Amino acid sequence: MAYTPHTADDRERMLAALGIDSVEALFAEIPSSVRAAGLPLPAGFPEHELMAHLAALAAANRTGLAEFAGGGVYRHYIPPIVDQVLLRSEFYTAYTPYQPEVSQGTLQSIYEFESLVAELTGMDVVSASHYDGAAATAEAALMACRATRREHVLVSAAVHPHYRETVATYFRGGDLALDEIPLVADGPSAGTTDLAALERLLADATRPVAGVIVANPSFLGLLEPMDEAVRLAHAAGALLVAVVEPVSLTVLAPPGAYGADIAAGEGQPLGIPPQYGGPYLGLLAATDPLIRQIPGRLVGMTTDVDGRRAYVMTMRAREQDIRREKAASNICTNQALCALAAAVYVATIGPHGLRDVAAMSAARAAELEATLAAAGAPRLFPGPYLNEFAVRVPDARRVHEALLDRGILGGIVLADVEPGRPELADGLLVCATEVTTSAEIAAFGAALSAVLAGAVAGRTGAPAGLASPAGGVR
């Protein structure tokens, strides 16, 4: 297949076949007042000047930091084979596999991805082509409404705020209602989904609930009582949507094991490095009774007339390119390259390797918790976690900025992503993975101790600049 532009002769022959004189004539029906009239772009650079300009822009980024930020996007070691496979031209230039006879490689890669995610989640069917975890969660909410023919969804306040905002955006403009389930305020379960409040919301007969969305681990890193959440949802005739982190599923019960109806999540931890906004990979899985409600691409394996193995897109009528008004979703993209990255990553490190990644991340997080507590930053909530948790520091935003000056990306300022939540005002969300080192953890503890000591010195009138890097005051 050629990837060359059309020649002037090509364009002239196409215009002649259409019976028009110019490309502009194709847009004659669009009023001139709303047609683009050129972009106010600056003059172009010579190539060497452009490279220097881009280098200067790149230099504005902070690099070489010891990183402890998570919040839905995580650093993991990615074997080089992942990128090597992705860069093969037959995958890198492939697009939507509408014609199976010329798309067997792409179809097989999507089939393998879906099969691996089905094993991870313990669910019956998995689709591909969702932009990210937030979009997949929103699609799961719509699935629950279609399947139950109800219009009310409950989402835990412990679900990632971006996911909650995306679900709200999908629901806006229609007759669908979305309400939040509050969190437990205090006690050993503080910070987790308030199941008593969930039970009360489900008991409102005037507003039957289609689905309940709960994340495990939650955005705050805490583990949720998923068995009980499923029991309450099903008792009210609602579906349970589990928002999951895929690596955690090797050491935590998968959604299929505790009876979730739909699983959604972000596939970035599976072989995709953290990037500025993506591209990422939405995971969406469901039980077999919901197979006709799941949007995206469902790829199956069959045999051709000669008995040879073949891959096909199944249930294509649910896709956005056919029967658009009846499609389960019109918000899909191919995402096959990211799905291939996830499949190659999982196949390369295998089930034991994935389990080691999760276990090593948990061990590093326990080390991090002890170090930060000794530095004066205890945990914000007491419940069990895997590799991410919130700590309490006074004036968290200022402390975060001070840590950056010392070469530490000290997690995420919770007040920035969850404004209006007073219980999170002094919180930093921190995480560790298998690539986090003990030296980085020690550096984080020392820097935090010094910053907090400087703040105390400033409040008591002592010269704050005398705070030592080790955390004491000289």
Give residue-wise pLDDT tens across range 241-272: 999 999 999 999 999 999 999 999 999 999 99
Are 160 and 219 a contacting pair, CB within 8 Å? yes
Confidence of residue 460 (pLDDT cuts 50, 70, 90): low
Structural domain includes residue 27: no
Q: Assess whether pLDDT exceeds 50 at residue 474.
A: no
Strongest mean pLDDT among 36-50, 196-210, 295-309: 196-210
Confidence of residue 41 (pLDDT cuts 50, 70, 90): confident
Residue 474: exposure state from Cβ atoms within 10 A (0-12, 13-18, ≥19) = exposed
Average the pLDDT over each of 7-11, 79-83, 180-184, 422-426 and give the range with the smallest value: 7-11
Q: Is the dihedral of CA 414, 364, 282, 219 positive or negative?
A: negative
Q: Assess whether pLDDT exceeds 90 at residue 326.
A: no
Give the mean model confidence (pLDDT) for residues 399-414: 97
User: For position 142, what pLDDT does the model report?
Assistant: 96
CATH of the domain at 437: 3.90.1150.10
Q: Assess whether pLDDT exceeds 80 at residue 156.
A: yes
95 and 152, same domain (yes or no): yes
CB atoms within 10 A of CB 421: 14
175 and 315, same domain (yes or no): yes
Q: Which of 325, 346, 367 is the last residue of a domain?
A: 346
Give the mean model confidence (pLDDT) for residues 30-41: 86
Q: Which of 346, 366, 384 is the last residue of a domain?
A: 346
Q: Which residue range forms the structural domain that includes residue 436? A: 66-73+350-466
189 and 140, same domain (yes or no): yes
CATH of the domain at 265: 3.40.640.10
327 and 366, same domain (yes or no): no
186 and 233, same domain (yes or no): yes
Structural domain includes residue 255: yes
Strand 262-266 with 282-286, pairing:
antiparallel
Structural domain includes residue 169: yes
3-state secondary structure of 9: helix
Q: Assess whether pLDDT exceeds 90 at residue 330.
A: no
Give the mean model confidence (pLDDT) for residues 305-310: 94
- Dist CA 202 CA 452 (whole Å): 45
Q: Which bin fits 361, alpha (ψ -120 to 50), beta or left (φ > 0)?
A: alpha
Q: Which residue has the higher pLDDT, 111 or 458?
A: 111
User: For position 42, what pLDDT does the model report?
Assistant: 87
309 and 393, same domain (yes or no): no
E strand or H helix at 353: helix 336-374
Residue 356: exposure state from Cβ atoms within 10 A (0-12, 13-18, ≥19) = middle
Percent of the chain past pLDDT 70, that is, above it, reads: 93
- Dist CA 143 CA 275 (whole Å): 29
User: For position 228, what pLDDT does the model report?
Assistant: 98
Q: What is the pTM of this model?
A: 0.88
Task: Please write the tens of the pLDDT for every residue from 71-102.
Answer: 999 999 999 999 999 999 888 877 777 778 88
279 and 399, same domain (yes or no): no
Give the mean model confidence (pLDDT) for residues 163-183: 94
334 and 376, same domain (yes or no): no
Structural domain includes residue 36: no
Q: Assess whether pLDDT exceeds 50 at residue 162.
A: yes
321 and 273, same domain (yes or no): yes
User: For position 451, what pLDDT does the model report?
Assistant: 97
Give the mean model confidence (pLDDT) for residues 17-36: 90
Q: Assess whether pLDDT exceeds 60 at residue 467.
A: no
User: For position 465, what pLDDT does the model report?
Assistant: 42
Residue given tokens 């658009």 in the structure block: 324
Percent of the chain past pLDDT 90, that is, above it, reads: 77
Q: Assess whether pLDDT exceeds 60 at residue 235.
A: yes
Q: Assess whether pLDDT exceeds 70 at residue 312.
A: yes
User: For position 469, what pLDDT does the model report?
Assistant: 36
Are 247 and 113 a contacting pair, CB within 8 Å? no
Q: Which of 295, 328, 346 is the last residue of a domain?
A: 346
Give the mean model confidence (pLDDT) for residues 106-110: 93
Average the pLDDT over each of 22-36, 172-186, 310-324, 342-356 and give the range with the smallest value: 310-324
Residues 6+ apart with CB under 8 A from 220: 158, 191, 380, 381, 388, 389, 390, 429
Strand partners, 303: 309
Structural domain includes residue 333: yes
Average the pLDDT over each of 35-44, 221-230, 356-365, 435-444 and give the range with the smallest value: 35-44
Give the mean model confidence (pLDDT) for residues 151-172: 97
Residues 6+ apart with CB under 8 A from 380: 191, 220, 389, 390, 391, 392, 423, 424, 426, 427
Q: Which residue has the higher pLDDT, 422 or 101?
A: 422
User: For position 144, what pLDDT does the model report?
Assistant: 98
What domain count does the chain have? 2
309 and 376, same domain (yes or no): no
Q: Assess whether pLDDT exceeds 80 at residue 318.
A: no
Strand 388-392 with 309-314, pairing:
unpaired
Structural domain includes residue 124: yes
201 and 242, same domain (yes or no): yes
Structural domain includes residue 28: no
Give the mean model confidence (pLDDT) for residues 331-358: 93
Confidence of residue 315 (pLDDT cuts 50, 70, 90): confident
H runs (alpha helix) in 40-173: 47-59, 80-86, 89-92, 104-121, 133-148, 161-171
193 and 320, same domain (yes or no): yes
Instruction: Kindly provide the b/e burial profile for residues 107-132, where b requires at least 16 CB atoms within 10 angstroms of the residue's own CB.
Output: bbbbbbbbebbbebbbbebbbbbbbb
- Dist CA 32 CA 10 (whole Å): 27
Structural domain includes residue 45: no
Mean pLDDT over all residues of the chain?
91
Give the mean model confidence (pLDDT) for residues 131-140: 96
Q: Assess whether pLDDT exceeds 70 at residue 332.
A: yes
